[in-house]
Amino acid sequence: MAPERFFLELDPPACALRDWPHVVIVGGGFAGLKACHALAGKPVRVTLIDKRNFNLFQPLLYQVASGLVSEADVASPLRQMVGQAPNIQVLLGEVVDIDPQAREVVFNDHRYGYDHLILASGSGSTYFGREEWRPLAPPMKILEHADEIRRRLLMALEEAEQTLDPERRRFLQTVVVVGAGPAGCELAGSLIELMHRAIRRDFKQLDHDLCRVVLVDPLERVLPTMHPKLSAAAAGYLQQAGVELRLQAKVEAIAPGRVSLRGADGLQPLEAATICWTAGVRASRLGVLLAERTGCPVDRGGRLLVEPDFSVPGHPDIHAVGDLCAYLHTSDGKPLPGMAGPAVQMGGWVAAHILARREGRSLEPFRFTDLGSMAVIGPWYAVADLRGLHVTGLAGWILWALAHLAFIPDSENRITLFTKWMWQIATRQRTALLITGRPDQHLGVDVGLFRAELHAEPDAADMDEDSAPLAA
C-alpha cells in the first residue's frame, strides 16, 4: 500500500491535521462540492476524489451542445473551487472499489483509508438495455457528450451546405431529440433557434425551411413532472418555434441515421443525421457496487435506499447523497427528485451531520426545501413551477436566469454566461459554434507540414519541436 504522504507538508501543523478525522468525498458535483464547502475550515481533513478535475454545471450542457456557450463557461477546476482550503485535498482518480470492513476506497491502485465516506458520484445515462444505441444517439451527461452532439450537428449542416440532392439535405438538416423532459425540451428549443435563426446568415445554401427538430417521447405530454398547464405552455412555444412533437411514440429501434417509432399509427421511421438521447438516467455504478459490498438495497435505477441520515444500513460511516441515493424519508414517501437542488441540500446536511456527530451533538432531521423546477424553452421564454406558482414567458425566463446564475458555483462563469446570454438574445448570434473532436484532426495531424517532410525519416532536427520545418 502506498504511504499516506497526504497533508504532511500543509499548514496548520501536520500533527494537528493527522489527528483529525478523515472524510473522503467521492464526486465533486453538486452534492460533493457542497459537502466540501461545508467542511472547509472545520476540524476534519477532507479528501475529495473525482475522476474529472472539474465541477460541471450539467443544467447548461444543452447550451454547449447548441453552441451558445463554451465548455469552460459551465465547468470549473475543483482545485480552484475547494482545493485552496487548508484542510481539503483534491485528488484526481476514479474510485473503483470500496471495502467497508477495512474502511478503504480503491482508486489509482491505492487503498485509501477513511473515517467517514460521502459518496456523491451522481448518475449516468441509460438506454434501457439497448447499449448499442449509445454511439448512434449520444446522451448529454458530460462535456464530451455535449461536444459530440455539437460536432455531429455542425458537420451535418456543413455537408448540407455543399449538397445538391434535396432529399439528402433534408436528412442532414434533421435532428431527433429523444426524451421530452427538461433537458430534451431545452435542447430541442435551443437547436431550433440555432437552425432557424442563429445560422440563417452564416449558411447561405441551406434551405431553412428544411431544418427540422423532432422531439420524441412515449408519454402524452412534454415536461411530465411539471403541472399540465406548464407542459401545455411549453409544448405550444416549442411548436410555434418549429419543433415537431412526436408524443406517445416509443423508440423501437435506432440504426445509423434512423429512429423507428411505435405510436398509435404503428411503426414509423424517422430519418435524421443527428440523433440525441436525453431519455434515461441511472445511478453511478458505485451504487450497485456498494450494494454488493454492504447488502444495501437499490431501486430500479441503481440508487441506494439510504437511512434518514443518508447512511447505508449497518454502516453509519458511509453516506450516499445526490443522484446516487433514493431518499424515501419524505412526507409523502416519494423519493426526492434527481435534481441539483436536492443534491446540494443533501451534501450540506450530511457534512453538518458528520461534524455534529464528532462533537456528540445531534442535528435536526433532514428537511428538503422544495424550490420548484424550471425549464428554458427559448430566448426570453421559460416555464417555472414554484411550489404551485406557475410562471411562463419572460417572467419565467428572468426567474430561470436568476436561479441559474445564483446556483453557478463560479463567479467568473456567472459573469461570462450572463454576458453571452445577453449577446445572443440581442444579436441572435452564437460564438461557440466550433467543430472540434474530429477524428482526422487530432494530435499528430500534418498541419503546416509538407507531406514529403512528414514521410521522411526523422532526424535530430525533426525531433525538436521548435526546429520542426514549417510550410513556407
Ligand X SMILES: Cc1cc2nc3c(=O)[nH]c(=O)nc-3n(C[C@H](O)[C@H](O)[C@H](O)COP(=O)(O)OP(=O)(O)OC[C@H]3O[C@@H](n4cnc5c(N)ncnc54)[C@H](O)[C@@H]3O)c2cc1C
Q: Which of 326, 278, 277 is nearest to 300 (CA)?
A: 326
Using CB under 6 A as the binding rule, whether residue 181 contacts ligand X is answered as no
3-class secondary-structure state, position 150: helix
Active-site residue flag, 453: no
Least distance in angstroms from the C-beta of 56 to ligand X: 6
Distance CA 448, CA 459 (A): 18
**Residue whose grid cell is 460541471:** 56
**Locus of grid cell 436568476:** 402
- Backbone φ, ψ for residue 288 (5° rounding): -65, -40
Identify whether the C-beta of residue 424 lies closer than 8 Å to the C-beta of residue 68: yes
CA dist., res. 276 & res. 123, Å (int): 18
Among 233, 339, 401, 417, binds ligand X (CB under 6 A): 339
Site string for ligand X, 372-401 (x = CB under 6 A): ------------------------------
First to last CA, the chain: 55
Sheet holding 381-386, edge to edge: 373-378, 381-386, 389-392
Considering the complex, state which of residue 65 and residue 195 has its C-beta at the smaller distance from ligand X.
Answer: 65
Compute the distance between CA of residue 68 and CA of residue 150 in angstroms, rounded to an integer: 10
Q: Is 441 exposed, middle or buried (0-12, 13-18, 19+ CB in 10 A)?
A: exposed
Of 47, 89, 121, 190, the one binding ligand X (CB under 6 A) is: 121
By the 8 A CB rule, do 208 and 195 touch?
yes
Q: Residue from 47, 173, 231, 284 that binds ligand X (CB under 6 A)? A: 284
Question: Shortest Cβ distance from residue 314 to ligand X (Å)?
Answer: 22
Q: Which is nearer to ligand X, 183 or 214 (CB)?
A: 183
Q: Give 142: exposed, middle or buried? Use CB within 10 Å, 0-12, 13-18, 19+.
A: middle
Query: Using CB under 6 A, which of 7, 29, 169, 348 touches ligand X?
Result: 29
Q: How far is the CB of 235 from ligand X (least distance, A)?
A: 18
DSSP 8-state class, residue 313:
T
Q: Which of 10, 40, 42, 51 forms a contact with ligand X (CB under 6 A)?
A: 51
Q: Does 49 bind ligand X (CB under 6 A)?
A: yes
Q: Which is nearer to ligand X, 94 or 244 (CB)?
A: 94
Q: Collapsing DSSP states into helix, strand and coil, what is residue 26?
A: strand
Contact status: 183 vs ligand X (CB under 6 A): yes
Phi-psi region of 369 (alpha: psi -120 to 50; beta: other; left: phi over 0): beta
Should residue 453 be labelled a site residue for ligand X when binding is judged by CB under 6 A? no
The CA radius of gyration of the chain, in Å to the nearest whole number, is: 25
| Residue 229 CB neighbour total at 10 angstroms | 12
Q: Interface mask (CB under 6 A) for ligand X, residues 52-71, using x and -?
A: x-----xx-x----------
* Amino acid found at 14: A
Binding window for ligand X (CB under 6 A); candidates: 47-55, 79-87, 326-334, 450-458 = 47-55
Pick the closer one to ligand X by CB: 50 or 193. Answer: 50
94 binds ligand X (CB under 6 A): yes
Question: Is residue 30 involved in binding ligand X (CB under 6 A)?
Answer: yes
141 binds ligand X (CB under 6 A): yes
Outline where 48-165 has alpha helix (H): 61-65, 78-81, 143-161
Binding of ligand X by 184 (CB under 6 A):
no
Q: How far apart are CA 268 and CA 133, in angstroms?
A: 18
> Does residue 287 interact with ligand X by CB under 6 A?
no
| Active-site position among 9, 144, 186, 271 | 186
DSSP, collapsed to helix, strand or coil, labels residue 75 as strand
What residue spans of 359-410 are helical by DSSP H?
393-407
Least spacing, CB of residue 230 vs ligand X, in Å: 14
The stretch among 50-58, 67-75, 198-206, 455-463 that binds ligand X (CB under 6 A) is: 50-58
- Closest contact distance (angstroms) between CB of 283 and ligand X is 9
Q: Is 28 in the site for ligand X (CB under 6 A)?
A: yes
In the complex, least distance from residue 20 CB atom to ligand X, rounded to whole angstroms? 23
Q: Shortest Cβ distance from residue 28 to ligand X (Å)?
A: 5
Q: Is residue 352 close enough to count as binding ligand X by CB under 6 A?
A: no
Output 218 or 280, the one with its CB closest to ligand X: 280
Closest residue to ligand X, Cβ-based? Answer: 29
315-334 binders of ligand X (CB under 6 A): 322-324
Size of the site for ligand X (CB under 6 A): 33
- Does 140 bind ligand X (CB under 6 A)? Our answer is yes
Q: From residue 140, how far is each of 66, 125, 157, 233, 426 by CA, in Å? A: 12, 8, 20, 24, 27
What is the length of the chain? Answer: 472
- Residues that bind ligand X in the complex, under the rule CB under 6 A: 26-32, 49-52, 58-59, 61, 94-95, 120-122, 140-141, 182-183, 284, 286, 322-324, 338-341, 343
Question: Which residues are known to be catalytic?
Answer: 186
